[in-house]
């Protein structure tokens, strides 16, 4: 059996060789809308936290939900990842850390965030971070 460059040999011997195609990497998904609620004091939206990341980053939207992705290097121990999320979001939105509030009941990766400030400007920055056009 002749194998292509994208195949590898599987099995105990040459007489039982099978061609197994490699799966191509996933194509970039289309940007999803990160839903938010605007009030007179700011906006509220969901994030998907990734603690223990190699690099800290804010941007993109999670594929399974309408949440902004936030990757932080801090481990998910004793609230360190939550504090790092607050710092990363404050830097990304250009506001003080005191203007960013996580829902106190947030225990998992999905968290509700409120940011105080001009709602129109914050919503525009959220759309830019999420990759919306």
pLDDT per residue of the chain (133 residues) written in tens, 0 to 9:
455 555 554 555 555 444 433 333 333 444 457 888 888 999 999 999 999 999 888 988 766 668 899 999 999 898 899 999 999 999 999 999 999 999 988 788 899 999 999 999 999 999 898 886 4
Burial of 30 (0-12, 13-18, 19+ CB in 10 A): exposed
pLDDT computed for residue 29 by the predictor: 42
Q: What is the enclosing helix (H) or strand (E) of 43?
A: strand 42-50
| DSSP code string of 59-119 | EEE-TTSS-EEEE-SS-SSTTHHHHHHHHHHHHHHT--GGGEEE-TT--SSEEEEEEES-H
Burial of 56 (0-12, 13-18, 19+ CB in 10 A): middle
CB 76 within 8 Å of CB 13: no
Break the chain into its structural domains and give their ranges: 36-130
Is CATH 2.130.10.10 what the domain over 36-130 is classified as, yes or no?
Answer: no
Q: Quick one: DSSP state of residue 55?
A: S
Q: What is the pTM of this model?
A: 0.72
pLDDT computed for residue 33 by the predictor: 72
Write out the two tokens for 118. Answer: 């001009």
Tokens 């007179």, residue?
40
């Amino acid at each position: 059996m002749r194998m292509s460059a994208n195949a590898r040999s599987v099995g105990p011997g040459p007489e039982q060789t099978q061609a197994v195609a490699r799966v191509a990497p996933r194509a970039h998904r289309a940007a999803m809308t990160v839903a938010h609620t605007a009030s007179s004091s700011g906006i509220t939206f969901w994030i998907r936290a990734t603690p223990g990341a190699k690099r800290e980053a804010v941007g993109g939207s999670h594929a399974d939900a309408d949440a902004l992705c936030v990757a932080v290097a801090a481990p998910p121990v004793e609230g360190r990842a939550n504090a790092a999320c607050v710092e990363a979001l404050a830097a990304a939105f250009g506001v003080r850390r005191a203007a960013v509030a996580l829902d106190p009941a947030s225990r998992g990766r999905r968290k509700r965030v409120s940011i105080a400030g001009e709602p129109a400007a914050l919503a525009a920055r959220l759309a830019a971070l999420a990759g919306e056009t």
